[in-house]
Structure formats: structure tokens, C-alpha cells
Structure 1
Amino acid sequence: MEIKIENYYEYVNKENIEKYLVCNICDKPLIEPVMTPCAYVFCRRCIEKSLDDHCARCSSYTKSKHLVVLTDPDILIELDNIQVKCKLCEQMDIRRGYFQNHIYEICPKAIITCSNNENNCSWIGLREELSTHLTTCSYQSSTLDSQKEKHGKFFPYLNIDLQQRNLQNHDVAIAVKALLINQRCTSLDLFNKKISSESASIIASVLDNDILLGIISFRNNLLCDSGVQFIAHALSTNFHLQLLDLNNNSITDIGVRLLAEMLKTNQTLIKLTLSYNRISNEGMTILVDVLINNNSTLRWLSLAGNSSINDLSTHSITNLLRHNTSLTTQKQ
């Protein structure tokens, strides 16, 4: 996986950066600057991506082999001295040339693996949590370098397919936490990852402040009512998530009551699926009440496969569809 360090920082006072330090393609300060034969300067990645045998600025004939690495020490020093802000820990005024060291060795909010990873320790977490973990780590090595033990190994989770990685329960929860902290994720499919209520609490701890995630699926996991409590509490103050899939999580009427409380304040969720749980007519009544009296934004609700919901709930469903005009689909 290519690690793009620039994904982790943003520029401070970008408007004050000298124009000759800025790439002519991306309009950002140069990274790995190269010069074309016609003397225009670009980031290497930018020019190689856009190069079609012609310069992106003057259209003169140019190939990758014609690019010359910029070696002017004064310009390189100026580029290194540009001030950036870490997106993870929000530390200000870090020299860009020093930022890689910040992420790999210092940033308390960087996701890292345990220093004993090579000894098969599977722990993943924030750097600020490493020292606590090491007090109980059973994979300690007497030969481990003290600096390596202190820093851990940077783990660059950005936008990844969790279904392609062999992670479950706690490990997948930490990975999700990294994704949300990095503000890089718009959709999460956590199907069949054995996520427990404890792991749900880890995910929920950053879910309330997320501004990009629009879809999250916990389908076929082990949340139960206790896990739903954490998710519902987080979504009470999350105003961006639109689809929540909680199918097949052993949720009962207790969990439904927690979700109903969340729906009283959450006005962005438009799809909620609760199929194949352990919800009864009582849970159905709870949902009907909140959707009639407190929520007009949910448009799609699924309760298919809840065997304890029977014909006695027909009146509640009819009442719901009569009074809640925003709910277009109610699947039982």
C-alpha cells in the first residue's frame, strides 16, 4: 500500500505560500518537484499522471525520461519549512519536511500496530494507547529496541475494503476507528465481522463526530441490545449518516426502544433495517409511536424476519402509514 503522507496534513496559511513553490497542476506546494525541458516545475506524481508526451503547461513534446529532479537547495529548504497542521492530532505549525517523522514516531492519534507485531501480537490502536497496552502485552521481547517500543509501527488505514482483510471483532473495530478519525470513509460494510457490543462501543466513540460516513452496515454481527445502546447514543448527535443496517444482531424490544429515542433527535437517517432480529409486537408499537409523533425523515424501514411480529401489529402498521407520509416503505 502506497502511503501518501500528504493525506494526513493540511497547509497553514496556504495563501501566503510563494507561487514558485506551487505545482502548476494541483495548485499545491510541490512534492518531489521535477522540471520539464521547458522549465516548468511540477510534483512528480502530478506530471507523470497527466503526461501524454506533452507538457501540461506549454504542450511541448515531453516524456518522463526528460523530467529533471529539482535540486536547488534553497527551494527544497523552503518547501521543507512550509507549515502544516496534522489532521489526526490537530497539532499546528509542523514543518512539512518533519511531518513524516511526526506521523511515524510522535502523533498520539496515529493508528499503529504493537511494537511486538513481529512476535505475533495483533494489537492495533492509537499511539497514545500503546504504553497502556505494553504493560499487559504477552508478546514482549527482551531484545526490542526501546525507540521502536515507544513509537510502534504506523498503520496507514485510509480507505480500505474491510471485507478483503482478515479482521474481526476488536481488530475491525480499531480499523473502523482509524477510518473515521482520518475522515476518509463514506460507506462501511461490516457484514459478518463478529462485532460484539464492546467493539461497537469503540466504533461509536468516534461515530458521533463523523461528518462523511453516510452508510454503515452491521449486518449479521453480535451487537445485541448492549451494542445498539452505544450506536444509538452516538447517532443521537450524528447528523450525516443516512443508512443504518442492523439486520440479524439479536436485537430485542429493548434495543428498539433505544433506537426510538435516537430517532427523536436524529433527522438525517432515511433508511433503517432491523430484519431477522428478536423484535415483537411491542417493539413494533414503539417504532410506530416515534415515527408518528417525533420523526418525519425516515423513509424506509424493514422488519422482515422478526417472527414475533404477527397479525396483532396490523393496526399499528396501518396507523403508521396513515399518519407518517414520509415513510414510503415498511417491509415486514
Structure 2
Amino acid sequence: MDEPSIHALLKCKLCSKPFVEPVSTQNGERFCRSCISQILRRDQSHDNGTTNITNEYQSSTKQNLIPVTEKLVLEMLDSLLVRCGKCGKTNLLRGQFDEHKNNECPKVTALCQAADIKCPWVGIRENLEEHLNECKFEPLRPALEEIFNEHNELKNRIKTLETQINELRNKKNLEMDANF
């Protein structure tokens, strides 16, 4: 990201970086949610003596921070070019960074596609294909899914039976109370 070329109106006064989750205070000042929240939290925990920044925003609380929703501001932030800190890829649109991280970045932590059937493998995405070629769980998927389904059916049946038992106990207790 070419920080000097980013307009000051898109930067937080506290961290001097482009807004992340921008919010407005009651007086219209804009900050990153985490930056102003941190200042407000610090102000609340120190009863005596506040900084100039916290004095200026004393009337603000986490509850009255207003998310910035102006489409122009959000689109300008989303159009900033960023670099992935994991893989080093540059010129990514900030608004599409999550897609890069979730679907493309070879350096992010990934789970095996058989994690749902208890494969414990966790590694970086670029090693996932190699793991899948050796994964002991994926070939067992049909059998394991059948076992898991039967297990869930049995748990549901137990829950139903426990409910019926409790209802019968309650009914018996009511009958016994009525006889006394």
C-alpha cells in the first residue's frame, strides 16, 4: 500500500492508517472502531486524569459510535491496493482481500477437507494438496459418515427417551400427590 498517496480523510487520526471498520463519534470525527474503543476503554479504566484525546471524546461511548455507512467512503477504502502479509502478493484490492485470504493465499492456515470427519491435519494451504494425497480419513468418508449418522440418530433417540422418562416421572409424581 502506498500510504503517502492515501487521502487524509480516509485515515484514522489515532493510528494514521486507512480506516478499518470506520465509526463516527457524536461530533462527526471518524476513527477505526478498534482505535477509538481502545482509547475509550483506557479512559474508563483510569478515573483520574485523561489525555487530550480522551478529553476531546469524553462524551463518546462504545454504544454511541456510529458505523460509517457512506457508500463513497467505503468504496474508496475497498479500492485501496494492499499487500498480503502472508504470501507477499501485491496490488490486491482491499475490498477483495478476504476472498484472497479465504480462497487463494497459499500461506494461510488451512484444514483438511476431511476435518468434518475428524482428520486432525492443519497446515498451510500450499501443502494441502500433498496432504490430501496421503490423507487416511478421506478414503474412509463413506463408512465414517454412516457411523456418524447412526451415532446422531442414537443420540436423538436417547434424548427422546429421556424426555419420555421425565414426562412419565412427572405424571407419576402428580398422581402420587393427588392421592395424598
TM-score (norm 2): 0.67
Matching of residues 235-250 of structure 1 within 5 Å: none
Identify the residue that residue 117 of structure 2 maps to in structure 1.
Answer: 119
Matching of residues 181-196 of structure 1 within 5 Å: none
Identify the residue that residue 128 of structure 1 maps to in structure 2.
Answer: 126
Give the counterpart letter for 2:13 in structure 1. Answer: N
CA–CA distance in 2 between the matches of 1:77 and 1:138?
45
Identify the residue that residue 62 of structure 2 maps to in structure 1.
Answer: 64
Identify the residue that residue 23 of structure 1 maps to in structure 2.
Answer: 12
Matching of residues 286-325 of structure 1 within 5 Å: none
Shift of 1:107: 0.3
Give the counterpart letter for 2:126 in structure 1. Answer: E
- From 3, 13, 23, the equivalent of 1:34 is 23
CA–CA distance in 2 between the matches of 1:97 and 1:85?
12
Secondary structure of the residue aligned to 1:23 is: coil
Shift of 1:104: 1.4
Shift of 1:136: 2.0
Gapped runs of 5+ residues in structure 2? 45-49, 143-180
Identify the residue that residue 78 of structure 1 maps to in structure 2.
Answer: 76
CA–CA distance in 2 between the matches of 1:120 and 1:59?
49
CA–CA distance in 1 between the matches of 2:30 and 2:55?
10
Shift of 1:138: 1.8
CA–CA distance in 1 between the matches of 2:57 and 2:131?
56
Distance 1:56 1:95, change over 3 A: farther
Secondary structure of the residue aligned to 1:29 is: coil
Shift of 1:60: 4.7
Shift of 1:131: 1.3
Give the counterpart letter for 1:90 in structure 2. Answer: G
| Root mean square deviation, CA, Å | 1.9
Identify the residue that residue 106 of structure 2 maps to in structure 1.
Answer: 108
Secondary structure of the residue aligned to 1:92 is: coil
Secondary structure of the residue aligned to 1:48 is: helix
- From 11, 14, 19, the equivalent of 2:3 is 14
CA–CA distance in 1 between the matches of 2:65 and 2:57?
14
CA–CA distance in 2 between the matches of 1:43 and 1:50?
11
Shift of 1:56: 3.9
Give the counterpart letter for 2:25 in structure 1. Answer: T
Secondary structure of the residue aligned to 1:135 is: helix
> Which structure is higher in RCO with an 8 Å CA cutoff and minimum separation 6?
2
Gapped runs of 5+ residues in structure 1? 1-11, 143-332
Identify the residue that residue 164 of structure 1 maps to in structure 2.
Answer: none
Shift of 1:37: 1.0
Give the counterpart letter for 2:17 in structure 1. Answer: K
Give the counterpart letter for 1:19 in structure 2. Answer: A
- The structure whose residues are more often helix, as a share, is 2
Is 2:86 the partner of 1:97?
A: no
Secondary structure of the residue aligned to 1:125 is: strand
Distance 1:86 1:58, change over 3 A: same
Shift of 1:57: 7.6
TM-score (norm 1): 0.37
- Contact persistence 1:24–1:57 (CA under 8 A): no
Distance 1:109 1:59, change over 3 A: closer
Secondary structure of the residue aligned to 1:86 is: coil
Q: Percent identity, aligned pairs only?
A: 32
CA–CA distance in 2 between the matches of 1:108 and 1:123?
16
